[in-house]
Structure 1
Amino acid sequence: MSLRRALVDVRPLRTSADFRRLWISTSASMFGQQVAVVAVLAQAWALTGSSFAVGAVGLAQAVGMVVCGLVGGTLADAVDRRRLVLWTTVGQTVAAASLAAQAFAELRSFVLLLVLVGVQGALAGLGAPARRTLAVNLLPSGQLGAGLALSSLSFQVALLVGPALGGVVTAAWDPAGAYALDAAFLLVAACGLGGLPSIRPEGGDRPGLRSIAAGLRFVVVNPVLGGSFLTDVLATVVAMPVALFPAIAAQRFDGDPRLIGWFLSAIAVGGLLAGLASGVFARARRLGAVQLAGSLGWGVALTGFGLAEPLWVALGCLAVAGACDVMAVVSRGATTQLATPDSYRGRVSSVEFVLGAAGPDVGNFRAGSVAGMTSAPFAAVSGGLLCVVGLCVLTLTDRPLRTFERP
């Protein structure tokens, strides 16, 4: 493969004005979210001085995102998806502006902060499944992987730059400045959506509990979708290592707290490099095989991280894990959209969103629990090995996923 084809494929941005608008909208929304994370943590700590309270803010946001994510899936299969994403983004903008107003007015109400963050998370969850279905309606199937890789690349950049920018703004202008910047990013996201065409589902069900149940049944009986989501569960619930970073830094690398940030940055750097070289896998035809290979690489790299003694080896393993994660996420996203009839895409995307939102938290809880009973290195190694074994079994038994190709 030539160097040009190996680099990130920008054809979707070049050839589709509508996808360009969607990419700008999604990127702005992600940047705003990462900027606001620092402000929320700082304000919650300033108001309460309690780590439990800070954790409660994250829980309120996560619960809203998961519950409304399922509701958003059934709505996405019944109404104009572009309009649903637009109005939920407008709602998030109002919530961010309200967060800025309460911080600027120095109301000092933790309950109000909790409510506004929960509302913003719920609106994000409500619109997320519909947003995930837009790219497949705007791009030819041969460019869908490239489009998702571009979105993944902007997410990795937001993950690296957003919190740092949020910290600088919060230090200079207090949380109100960061919330205002989040609102400005969300306003840009809403404007980008306004230029998109109407995108209505083809033959979707009426929204409700029966519609949600039908979507879940569709995932369970479809070996390509069920296998794709099982790879995500094995990678996150079984092998997620972030909760182990403080203990491993303390036990193996003299406890320097900066190492926790380095560990997180190593994953993000690996993901960013994979995004820049996404032409290698985004152009691939055998999406199922690419997804399984990426997830296997994630498990092997995390096993290596648990065993690593020199710091540079540990950081290298995490960078490889981050690169493999992007490879798996992009190919899984393309597989999910291409293997699903349009009438089910919203509900199937909601399952993908819920797993993505809840899986890492459950995985970190698992890792912390195992480390508490044994040790952090054992928890990392055992999680990585279980992930690899599970994926090997899935690869051997799920032929439809293993051989799935994009049209």
Structure 2
Amino acid sequence: MGVACGGTVAGVSNGQTRLVDRLRGIFADTRPLTSPDFRRLWTANIVTVIGAQLTVVAVPAQIYAITSSSAMVGLTGVFGLVPLIVMGLWGGALADVMDRRRLLEITTGGLIVTSALFWAQAALSLDNVWLLLGIFALQQAFFAVNQPTRTAILPKLVPADQLPAANALNMTVLSAGAIAGPLVGGALIPVLGYSWLYLIDTITLMATLYAVWRLKPMPVEGTTGAPGLRSVIDGLIYLSGHKILLLSFAVDLIAMIFGMPRALFPEIAHVSFGGPIEGGVQFALLYAAMPAGAVLGGVFGGWVSRVHRQGAAVLWAVTAWGGSMALMGLAVGLSGWQTRVALGVALGMLVVGGASDMVSAAFRQSILLSATDDAVRGRMQGVFIVVVAGGPRLADVLHGAASDVVGPAWATGGGGLLVVAGMAAIALAFPAFRNYSIAKAKDE
């Protein structure tokens, strides 16, 4: 009896162990959270990202309310792209010379100041589009230095084999905030106005400032020279010798420039799906659907740590992104036939696109972090942020202009088809990228 009971207990224990292992394989890999610094930054982001997304929603909504023009909303792409390129490249070089914790403190403070300026212009009811765009450009300049620095410290916080999981966790938090922000912001804009949204963003950024302050000093290993033009050029020369990294940037540019219809959301919500011009539920749902997909992709992303061909995973993920945007364009085109059904399909395709984008970003960032030396990691992250954040801003300009000519349905759907075609071309022309593996690259 004792042996039998022991066997039963052991059997239950083994079964429970297998179940736990299966669940770990399905759900997000949380091992990076055992690092106190990573956990503190990650937790602070839960609060900060919600506030940041309120501003992301409020700026285009305020511009569209003032001008009723998607082309003017698209101008945020121009005003955001220039500081992103200049400060992203220079900021990356700065992050390869300066103590990275100190640089994060300065730039986080700058983001707090710009959020306060957004609040002031809204509270004073200035309704000046050019002032809004100017503040937005200043905010993007601080962001362009802050984000590469923040990502460059990641290999100092978690082991190399946990980088895909850490990137997926970061993407999940960013995306979760991007759900709550638009849903809350889109619904509250008609009730509270824009100033309250900007004020919440200003306050919530304090959480990240505290988490950064708690970091230990982070000087760069093997740093040389000064953060000037020569340093930027050296970083670009380094990049030019790594074809896999260049292709990973090209893939993202194709995906974002042709497949990101974000600038059309105010018009689609108002014209295609009957929402109010100043925001409303339809507008909030469109903004929240894509990050909702990214959260689902992150929560059920335990498999990302087991993928061995990261290049192929990126190509498939971006192809799924393009296909979902093509089908969204079809849904927008059919909105006059059955508005509710069309809205449901459009939101569903944005969810699929968000999950695909999360997977692509996690693998691309992991490839970049693992393939670069610490002395150039800041500059490579500077290029990364120029590509990742600059691509959507080019898309804002392109889609805003295209919608004025062919309408939002063709601008959205046609762009998605171009993304699919681009991924097929890269897969055929560059088998080395299609077959790329982080593990094999380290062994060679």
TM-score (normalised: structure 2): 0.79
**Map of 1:370-381 to 2, 5 A cutoff?**
370=402, 374=406, 376-381=408-413
**Map of 1:308-327 to 2, 5 A cutoff?**
308=331, 311=342, 312-327=344-359
Residue-by-residue CA offset, 1:100-134 (whole Å, 9 max, x unaligned): 45655x38484765554443332222222111112
Write the distance in 2 (CA, Å) between the matches of 1:98 and 1:264.
Answer: 24
Write the distance in 2 (CA, Å) between the matches of 1:369 and 1:9.
Answer: 42
Asked if 1:218 is matched to 2:250, the reply is: no
**Map of 1:180-191 to 2, 5 A cutoff?**
180-191=199-210
Residues 143, 2 of structure 1: alpha-carbon distance in 2 compared, 3 angstrom cutoff: same
Aligned partner of 1:336: which letter? L
Q: Of the candidates 164, 182, 187, which is equivalent to residue 145 of structure 1?
A: 164
8 Å Cα contact 2:74/2:396 also seen in 1: no
Asked if 1:199 is matched to 2:218, the reply is: yes
Write the distance in 2 (CA, Å) between the matches of 1:306 and 1:60.
Answer: 26
Asked if 1:91 is matched to 2:110, the reply is: yes
Counterpart in the other structure of 2:29: 9
Counterpart in the other structure of 2:429: 397
Write the distance in 1 (CA, Å) between the matches of 2:424 and 2:171.
Answer: 26
8 Å Cα contact 1:286/1:405 also seen in 2: yes
Asked if 1:328 is matched to 2:368, the reply is: no
**Counterpart of 2:258 in 1: which secondary structure?**
coil
8 Å Cα contact 1:25/1:193 also seen in 2: no
**Counterpart of 1:203 in 2: which secondary structure?**
coil
What runs of 5+ residues in structure 2 fail to find an aligned partner?
A: 1-20, 276-280, 335-340, 440-444
TM-score (normalised: structure 1): 0.85
Counterpart in the other structure of 1:36: 55
Counterpart in the other structure of 2:7: none
Asked if 1:339 is matched to 2:383, the reply is: no
Q: Of the candidates 228, 232, 235, which is equivalent to residue 248 of structure 2?
A: 228
8 Å Cα contact 1:223/1:400 also seen in 2: no
8 Å Cα contact 1:62/1:358 also seen in 2: yes
Residues 332, 119 of structure 1: alpha-carbon distance in 2 compared, 3 angstrom cutoff: same
Residue-by-residue CA offset, 1:164-185 (whole Å, 9 max, x unaligned): 4345666666544433322221
**Map of 1:1-400 to 2, 5 A cutoff?**
2-13=22-33, 15-40=34-59, 59-100=78-119, 106=124, 108=126, 110=128, 115-166=134-185, 175-205=194-224, 206-243=226-263, 255-257=273-275, 261-308=284-331, 311=342, 312-370=344-402, 374=406, 376-400=408-432
Aligned partner of 2:397: which letter? F
Counterpart in the other structure of 2:5: none
Aligned partner of 2:365: which letter? G
**Counterpart of 1:196 in 2: which secondary structure?**
coil
**Of the two, which has the highest radius of gyration?**
2
Write the distance in 2 (CA, Å) between the matches of 1:373 and 1:43.
Answer: 23
Residues 176, 371 of structure 1: alpha-carbon distance in 2 compared, 3 angstrom cutoff: closer
8 Å Cα contact 1:142/1:406 also seen in 2: no
**Counterpart of 1:89 in 2: which secondary structure?**
helix
Residue-by-residue CA offset, 1:194-226 (whole Å, 9 max, x unaligned): 111222222234211121122223223311100
**Counterpart of 2:327 in 1: which secondary structure?**
helix
Write the distance in 2 (CA, Å) between the matches of 1:37 and 1:313.
Answer: 24
**Percent identity over paired residues:** 35
Residue-by-residue CA offset, 1:294-332 (whole Å, 9 max, x unaligned): 112112222333445562444433322221111111111
Write the distance in 2 (CA, Å) between the matches of 1:224 and 1:313.
Answer: 35
Q: Which moved more, 1:36-45 or 1:269-278?
A: 36-45
8 Å Cα contact 1:228/1:332 also seen in 2: yes
Cα offset, 1:9, TM superposition = 1.6
Cα offset, 1:88, TM superposition = 0.9
Write the distance in 2 (CA, Å) between the matches of 1:65 and 1:244.
Answer: 22
Cα offset, 1:75, TM superposition = 0.3
8 Å Cα contact 2:325/2:350 also seen in 1: yes
Write the distance in 1 (CA, Å) between the matches of 2:274 and 2:396.
Answer: 21
Residues 293, 96 of structure 1: alpha-carbon distance in 2 compared, 3 angstrom cutoff: same
Residues 360, 39 of structure 1: alpha-carbon distance in 2 compared, 3 angstrom cutoff: closer
